[in-house]
Amino acid sequence: MTAGHSQQNAAVVLLFIHLCFSGGYQLTELQVGLCHLCNGTVQNGTAVSQFCSASAGLIDGRCCLLRKENIRDADYIIGLDLSNCSLSRVEDLQDAFSATTIDLSLNPIVNLDDSLFEGFIQLANLILPANLVCPGGNASWDKVKVKGETHFCEGQKDICNQTGYLSLNCPENSLCVPYGPGFFQCSCVDAFRGYKCLREGEFPIIQVFGPLAGSTVLVSILLWLTQRRKAISV
């Protein structure tokens, strides 16, 4: 009786752990498609597997996931392993924009567009087939090396080389902000906004939307009165 009761308690504990650490993770439909683009799961000993273990992540298909603070949102993909998937081309990786490590090695990929990694500001380790170059060129990475059939791109550089001053690559009153290997964006500094950050001051919400809201209310009232008169006359 005692042994059976202990086994039942153990089963309950295991179920609770499974629900907490597995069922609690949420993905969007597009993320699910990306994580299961290839058969199998992340293999032990690979770069993504080691990174996932060190980051306390959860393996789901070919992805390593990290839970967001707001459990109602989808989770982060912090690692993506699409190695040895027989991929001849890669068209879209945007659902893994938060990834730190991505492995595309051992695939017959002939060409890889740099724009695939636009917005990948967290990407620190990218593993490619040896015939491909690192996105943004070697100048966008701290360390680039080819080993056997694999090309390693490590340590994404800050293309803006931020120093706290206005960037020469951006319009006046704006700062350069890194936006992936070889990419950057220009962000308006405080108190400036609009096209090329030429307008100063906060956006005039009341002046813009006030008259619009008033006009909408007035038109609604007129339509209501018109329909009411028609209903009474009928």
What are the DSSP calls for 64-96, one per residue? EEE--SSTTSPPEEEEEE-TTS--S-----GGG
Q: Are residues 183 and 132 in the same domain?
A: no
- Give the mean pLDDT of the chain: 80
Give the residue numbers spanning the domain of 60. Answer: 18-156
- The pLDDT, as a whole number, for residue 174 is 87
- The pLDDT, as a whole number, for residue 213 is 72
| pLDDT over 80 (residue 232) | no
Of 156, 188, 210, the position where a domain reaches its end is 156
Residue 225 lies in a domain: no
Please, which pLDDT band fits residue 24 given cuts at 50, 70 and 90? very low
| pLDDT over 80 (residue 201) | no
Q: Are residues 33 and 94 in the same domain?
A: yes
How far are the Cα atoms of 115, 128, 170, 186, 189 from residue 165, in angstroms, in the given order? 27, 35, 11, 13, 10
Residue 92 lies in a domain: yes
Most confident of 23-37, 86-100, 158-172: 86-100
Q: Are residues 163 and 147 in the same domain?
A: no
Residue 13 lies in a domain: no
Of 105, 139, 156, the position where a domain reaches its end is 156
Q: Are residues 121 and 139 in the same domain?
A: yes
Q: Are residues 26 and 51 in the same domain?
A: yes
Q: Are residues 65 and 40 in the same domain?
A: yes
- The pLDDT, as a whole number, for residue 5 is 41
Q: Are residues 31 and 122 in the same domain?
A: yes
Tell me the per-residue pLDDT of 120-167, one tens digit each, with 9 for 90 and over: 999 999 999 999 999 999 999 999 999 999 999 999 998 887 454 445
Whether pTM > 0.75 for this model: the answer is no
